[in-house]
Structure 1
Amino acid sequence: MDITAAKTFLAVIEGGNFVAAARRVNVTQSTVSARIKSLEEQLGKTLFIRTKASCDLTPAGHQFHRYARSMVRVWEEAKHQVAVPDGFEDTLIVGGQYSLWNRLLLWWVPAFRKAAPTVALRCEIGMPQRLMREMAEGVMDLAVIYQPEHRPGMVVRELLKDQLVLVSTDLTIPYKDNYIYADWGEGFRTMHAAAHPDLVTPALTLDLGALGINMLLNNGGAAYFPERIVQPHLENKMLFQIEEAPHFPYPAYVVYQEDFASPAIMEQALATLFEIADQSLKGDLPKPFWM
C-alpha cells in the first residue's frame, strides 16, 4: 500500500466526503474513489459507509485510522531526515496564521536560530484549516494558530492571551460612520453580533488578518485588531483606541506533534516561542522596521 492512499483516506475523514477530499488532495473525485476502493481491496475490509451527503467510518475504518496517521507521520519524518541540509542535524517545519507572523513568529525565527544553530527551519504561512491538515498528515511539526482543533497525537497549549480592540484613525469621527468589519473567525462573529447589533451589515468587510491594518492606515476608518499588533501604532498616534467599545478575548495557541522525533529540539522551539510571546505581550519586542 502506498502513502498516497493513506493520505487520501485521511482526507476523506477530514473532509467528510469524497468531494471535499478531492479538493484537499487536488485530484478528481473519481481518483479519490479509486484510491479508497483499492485500499479496501488490499485490506479486505470496507472502510466507509457511503451516503450522498457524507462518508462514515466503519469499525474497520476506525481501526485503520490510527495506523494511517502513523504511516503518514513516519513517512514525513523520513523525508525530513533525508532532506536535512548539509551541515545541519535536523529540520523543523513551522507554520502560522498570517496575523501571528507579524509581531511574533518573525521575531521567534532568529531567536530559535540562535538557540539551535544546527537545526534548519522551514517556515510557512496559511489559514488554520490547512495548517491543521498538514499537522494531521505529519507534514508540519509545529503550528501557531488562533482556533486550533484538538486531534490525536497533537498537543495544544495556549501561547498568549491576546485581545481584539476597536481602533480608529480619527477620534473626531464617530466610529460607526466609518466602520470596517475585520473578520476574526466564528467566535469573534458571535461576540461582535451581541455587542454591536447595529453593525451587522458594514459597507466593507476584511478577511485579511493583520494586513488589514494597512487598509486602515492608508484609507482611514475604525476596526477591530489584536492589541498586540496595533500597540506600536497607538504609541505613535497613528491609531487611537476607542475606550468605550468592548474588547474581545483572542488567545493564540501552539500545536505540536506529541511524538516529535527530536524532543530536545521541540523543547527548545517551545521555550523560545513562549519567551518571544511574553515579550510581545509586554511590548518589549523591537519596533516594526517601518517605524
Structure 2
Amino acid sequence: MDVIQAKTFLAIVEGGNFLAAARRVHVTQSTVSARIKALEDQLGKPLFVRSKAGCALTPAGHQFHRYAQSMVRAWEEAKHQVAVPDGFDETLIVGGQYSLWNRLLLRWVPAFQSAAPRVALRCEIGMPQRLMREMTEGVIDLAVIYRPEHRPGVKVKELFEDRLILVTADPMLPVEENYIFIDWGDAFREAHALSFSHLHNPGLTLDLGALGVNLLISRKASGYFPERIVQPHIDSKLLTRVDDAPTFSYPAYVVYQENFSSPEVMLTALRLLEETAEQAVTGSLPPPFWT
C-alpha cells in the first residue's frame, strides 16, 4: 500500500466516481481502476460498490476512509518538515481564492514575514474545492476561501464579510446596456435573480473574481465586486458606485489545520490575518501599487 493509492481512494470518495477521481489526480480512468484493484487486493476486501450512478463505500471502505486520510496527512506533514529551507525552522503553506489575495493576503504576507522571520512561506492560489481537498490531505496548512466545507481535522472561522456592490465605468449609460455578470457562486446567483430578473442573461459572464475589474474598466462596463477591491478605483474616479443598487453579503473564512506542528506559528498567522482583514474592510489599507 502506498500514499498514491490512498490519495486515489480519497479522490473517488470526494468525486463520487472513478472518472471524476481520474480528473482530480490527473491520470486515466484505467489507472484509477488499477490502483483501487491493487489496494483492494492488499486489504482483502472490496472498498466500493460500483453502479451506473457512481460509487458507494462498502463497510470496509468506510473503515479504511479515516486511515487513508491519516496516511495522506502524515505523508504531507513529513514532506513539510523535510522540505524546510536552510535557515528556517518551519514552513507554512497558505492558499487563497483569487479575490482574497488582492487587498488581503498579499498585504498579510509581509506582515507575517516580519513577525515570524524564521518561518518559510509557500503561497498558492486556487478554487475552493481544490483548496479544501488539499487542506483535508494536509497539503495546505491555512486557506482563506468564500465557501468552506467542514471536515475532520480542519477548523473553520469566519474572517470578515465582503460586501458586493454594483460599480460602473460609465455612469452615463444605463446599467442594462453595459452589464457584465460576475459569478460569485450559488447564493449570489439566487439573490441576484430576485433583484435583477431583467438581467438574467446579460451576454457576458465572468467567473474570474476580482480579476474581472480590469476588463470592467477597459470595456466601460458595470458589474458586482467586493467593495474593498474596487474602493481604490472609486477613489481614483475609474469606477463609480451605483448608489441605488442592492448590496450582497459575501463572507470569507479562514480554514486551518487544527493540529499544525507549531501552534504558536499558526496563532501568529491567524492574529495577523484578522488584523489585515479589519484594515481591508474598514478601508485603512494603503492604496495598491497599481492605482
Q: Give the TM-score band, short-chain normalised.
A: over 0.9
Q: Distance in 2 between matches of 1:198 and 1:256?
A: 41
Partner of 2:6: 6
Q: What is aligned with 2:92?
A: 92
Post-superposition CA distance 1:71-93 (Å, at most 9, x none): 10110000000000001001000
The match for 2:65 is 65
Amino acid at match of 1:43: L
Aligned-partner Cα distance in 2 for 1:27–1:169: 44
The residue correspondences of 1:190-229 to structure 2 (distance < 5 A) are: 190-229=190-229
Encode CA deviations 1:111-136: one digit per residue, 9 max, x unaligned: 00011110000000111111111111
Residue type of the partner of 2:59?
P
Q: How does 1:1-291 map to 2 (within 5 A)?
A: 1-291=1-291
- Runs of at least 4 residues off by over 3 Å: none
AA paired with 1:268? T
Instruction: Report Cα offsets for 1:154-199 as digits up to 9, x if no partner.
Output: 1111111111100011222111111111111111111111111100
Query: What CA deviation, in whole Å up to 9, does each residue of 1:17-43 have, x standing for no partner?
Result: 000000100111111111111111111
Q: 2:245 aligns to what SS in structure 1?
A: coil
CA distance in 2, matches of 1:111, 1:230: 23
1: CA distance between counterparts of 2:153 and 2:50? 27
In structure 1, C-alpha distance between the alignment counterparts of 2:61 and 2:262, rounded to whole Å: 30
Kindly state the Cα deviation for residue 218 of structure 1 after the two structures are TM-superposed.
1.3
- The separation in 1 between residues aligned to 2:255 and 2:55, in whole angstroms, is 27
What is the one-letter code of the residue matched to 1:279? Q
Letter paired with 1:221:
A
- For residues 93 and 173 of structure 1, the distance between their equivalents in structure 2, rounded to whole angstroms, comes to 45
Letter in 2 for 1:135: M
Counterpart code for 2:8:
T
Tell me the TM-score normalised to structure 2 length.
Answer: 0.98
Unaligned runs of 5+ in 1: none
Kindly tell me the number of residue pairs found equivalent between the two proteins.
Answer: 291
C-alpha distance in 1 between matches for 2:258 and 2:47 = 26
CA distance in 2, matches of 1:204, 1:70: 44
Question: What's the CA shift for 1:269?
Answer: 0.7
The whole-number CA distance in structure 2 between the counterparts of 1:68 and 1:260 is 19
Structure 2 unmatched runs, 5+: none
Instruction: Find the aligned partners of 2:21 and 2:276 in 1 and give their Cα distance.
Output: 37
Which secondary structure does the structure 1 equivalent of 2:91 belong to?
strand
Q: RMSD of the alignment, in Å?
A: 0.9
Q: CA deviation at 1:7?
A: 0.4
Residues of 2 paired with 1:208 and 1:186: CA distance? 15
Taking the aligned partners of 2:13 and 2:186, their CA distance within structure 1 comes to 22
Partners of 2:19 and 2:52 in 1: CA distance: 10
TM-score by structure 1 length? 0.98
Deviation at 1:223, TM superposition (A): 0.3
Cα offset, 1:219, TM superposition: 1.6
User: Which whole-Å CA distance do the structure 2 matches of 1:64 and 1:163 have between them?
Assistant: 42
Q: Which digits, 9 at most, give the CA deviation of each residue in 1:83-111, with x for residues without a partner?
A: 00001001000010110000000000000
